[in-house]
Amino acid sequence: MMTESQAPTQAPAAIAKDRFGRVISYLRISLTDKCNLRCVYCMPEDMVFRPNSHLMQDDELLLLVRVFASLGFWKYRLTGGEPTIRHNVVEVVRGIAHTEGVRSLSMTTNGILLGELAAPLAEAGLQRINVSIDTLDPARFRRITRWGSFDEVWRGLEAAERAGLTPVKINVVVVRGFNDQDVTALAKLTLDHPWQVRFIEMMPFGDVAAFAKEQIVTDAEIRARIASEYAELDLIDDGQLDGEARMYRFAGAPGEVGFISSVTHPFCASCTRARLTADGVLRLCLLRDKEIDLLTPLRAGASEDELRETILKAIWWKPWGHGLAQEVIPLSRVMSQIGG
């Protein structure tokens, strides 16, 4: 795989652009809708998953990646559900990493299986990892994830760092009454480690929408709490977004603290991303239900050119942004079925 700084060897067949002039070049791919945890903000405990036959098989997934890459998509993140529980995940990563045009490949994971998988994933071509850890307290960790072991995830995080999947990023969703008391301890990890701790505002989806709306803790509240319990965070780069995160740092700290505030400070104007769900559907905005099925035409024999046409047309109509302020909430899928 080429690195991000190297120019592509071949010009893409066409560039995926929307009608607002945004070039869409970042694809988040859900490797599975299934998960080995049941985080309270993500899915109900009795979640029903799709049968495997409804999901993209390895060859279908790799074909679609090839088609996206030929349209200028160069940045990829693998997610889910829990991507590490996909059968053959190391070989799928290898296939994507070796696709012409793929220059950046990362993964978002709950970290449970990283202890054994971090090194093989890195060897297969994965470059970076985001691990979701909402609290450093094992009992609260179990309450939020319903089943998770904090120690297992921490060992996974350490294995990722040893394997060179760096800089390590930690995703924290803050839920009132569950982990709002943990934000300062999590931010202070950046005093001792060159990590990025990123606080994500909880977003409302489908069955868990009411819970998310009631228990959300905003970025402003998190910063105020950190300032009162420890110290003010200094804004980095004049507040320019790093991806979707606004970055801060404690004076002299090796690590950084990010805030992804999709609810209170949407970053839609600079959005460059689209999502491919595990069942092969192109989702144009995380928080809008508009989506285009790619797997059905692929299985019906559509050519790569026909799939390219379908994708270009779909991207052209990508919605400008989400409608949370107008109470428009995505209802068709929860986060794990889209790919966060």
Q: How far is Cα 109 from Cα 329, in angstroms, rounded to an integer?
A: 25
269-308 footprint of ligand SAM as x/- string (CB under 6 A): ----------------------------------------
Site string for ligand SAM, 139-178 (x = CB under 6 A): --------------------------------x-x-----
35 binds ligand SAM (CB under 6 A): yes
Tokens 């797997």 label which residue? 295
Establish if 126 lies at the interface with ligand SAM (CB under 6 A). no
Among the listed residues 225, 222, 230, 229, the one whose alpha carbon sits nearest the alpha carbon of residue 251: 230
Report H helices in 188-317. Answer: 189-192, 209-215, 219-229, 295-299, 304-316
- The kind and range of the H/E element at 143 are helix 138-145
Q: Are 260 and 199 in contact (CB under 8 A)?
A: yes
Exactly one of 109, 190, 277, 310 binds ligand SAM (CB under 6 A); that residue is 109
d(CA 237, CA 311): 35
Residue 200 binding target from ligand SAM, ligand SF4, none, CB below 5 to 8 Å by type: ligand SAM
52-91 positions binding ligand SF4, by CB under 6 A: 80-82
Give yes or no for residue 37 binding ligand SF4 (CB under 6 A).
Answer: yes
Does 244 bind ligand SF4 (CB under 6 A)? Our answer is: no
For residues 105-134, which are near ligand SF4 according to CB under 6 A?
A: 110, 132
Report residue 108: phi and psi, to 5°: -110, 125
Q: Which residues bind ligand SF4 (CB under 6 A)?
A: 35, 37-39, 42-43, 80-82, 110, 132, 336
